[in-house]
């Protein structure tokens, strides 16, 4: 079996265990698939959100400007779902791993559900913001809520109004047509460029610039371990591509190194 950088797409748990034991810096790059088993729909799976709805109408900047009520209704329903969801075994396994390697294990996520934080991860870079933050596009006022008290502050019948300048507030997430938060992006590039192992978990790798981060890891000769039940367009970049669900295989991999 070839193995590292030999583009071996099967996987051998012992080999991956040795790689982890001999590596220093880790990035868990995650997408919607890692939260699927928490009941949060993905976007591009057969049952994904963008198979049912048009993202241009529900998750773009211009849609928010023209119909903020529709966008808030869409986000209120997703906030409700996330409030009722639980983090799963994949989130908690990554949280435990981070505990064993303080300062050397980071999560770089495209997800806005904050389930990594509920799974114990502290070092989380949110490339697309998060669903429990709000921002005013006029005066820049920002507020972060915990999922447990979000709906004590908002009434789903109403569009939230900025207490400072009385303009409409927006969920503090990156909508299509918007830029990623620069500090989050710069941190994500730095971490990806310095890691020895990048787990690429639950992402179709369809959306840029997030999908360029594995290239930064490859440039640093990192080992890329993809966990996704389906093939993605970037399979040729991966050293290992594990066709399993994250909440099943990730705890198994980390258990092999007693985590």
Indicate which of ligand APR, Zn ion, none lies near residue 227 (CB less than 5 to 8 Å, by partner kind): ligand APR
User: Which of the ranges 16-24, 41-49, 76-84, 115-123 carries the binding residues for ligand APR, by CB under 6 A?
Assistant: 41-49
User: Which of the ranges 1-9, 14-22, 35-43, 76-84 carries the binding residues for ligand APR, by CB under 6 A?
Assistant: 35-43
Q: What is the dihedral of CA 31, 32, 38, 39, to 10 degrees?
A: 180
* Element holding 198 (H helix, E strand): strand 197-201
Return d(Cα 193, Cα 144) in angstroms, integer.
29
Shortest separation between residue 12's beta carbon and ligand APR, angstroms:
20
**For ligand APR, the closer CB: 42 or 192:** 42
- Cα separations in angstroms, 137 against 46, 56, 63, 140, 142: 34, 19, 14, 6, 9
Helix-helix angle 246-255:13-21, to 10 degrees: 60
User: Which of the ranges 19-27, 100-108, 222-230, 251-259 carries the binding residues for ligand APR, by CB under 6 A?
Assistant: 222-230
Shortest separation between residue 30's beta carbon and ligand APR, angstroms:
8
Return d(Cα 203, Cα 33) in angstroms, integer.
6
Q: Is 128 a catalytic residue?
A: yes
Residues contributing to the site for ligand APR (CB under 6 A):
31-34, 36-37, 42-45, 48, 55, 110, 128, 201-204, 206-207, 227-230, 232, 245-246
Which residues are part of the catalytic machinery? 128
């Amino acid at each position: 079996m070839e193995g590292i950088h030999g583009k071996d797409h099967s996987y051998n748990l012992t080999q991956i265990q040795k790689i982890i034991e001999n590596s220093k810096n880790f990035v868990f790059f995650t997408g919607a698939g890692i939260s699927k088993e928490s009941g949060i729909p993905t976007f591009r799976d057969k049952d994904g959100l963008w198979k049912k709805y048009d993202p241009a109408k529900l998750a773009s900047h211009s849609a928010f400007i023209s119909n903020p009520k529709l966008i808030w209704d869409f986000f209120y329903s997703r906030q409700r779902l996330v409030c009722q969801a639980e983090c799963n075994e994949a989130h908690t396994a990554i949280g435990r791993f981070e505990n064993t390697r303080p300062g050397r294990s980071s999560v770089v996520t495209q997800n806005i559900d904050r389930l990594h934080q509920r799974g114990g991860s502290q070092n989380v870079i949110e490339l697309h913001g998060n669903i429990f933050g709000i921002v005013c596009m006029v005066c820049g006022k920002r507020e972060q809520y915990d999922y447990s008290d979000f709906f004590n502050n908002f009434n789903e019948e109403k569009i939230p109004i900025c207490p400072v300048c009385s303009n409409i507030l927006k969920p503090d997430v990156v909508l299509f047509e918007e830029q990623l938060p620069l500090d989050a992006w710069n941190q994500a590039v730095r971490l990806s460029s310095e890691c020895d192992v990048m787990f690429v978990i639950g992402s179709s790798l369809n959306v840029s610039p997030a999908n360029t981060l594995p290239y930064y890891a490859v440039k640093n000769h990192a080992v890329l371990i993809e966990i996704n039940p389906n093939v993605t367009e970037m399979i040729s970049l991966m050293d290992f591509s594990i066709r399993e669900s994250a909440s099943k295989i990730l705890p198994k991999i980390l258990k092999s190194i007693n985590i």
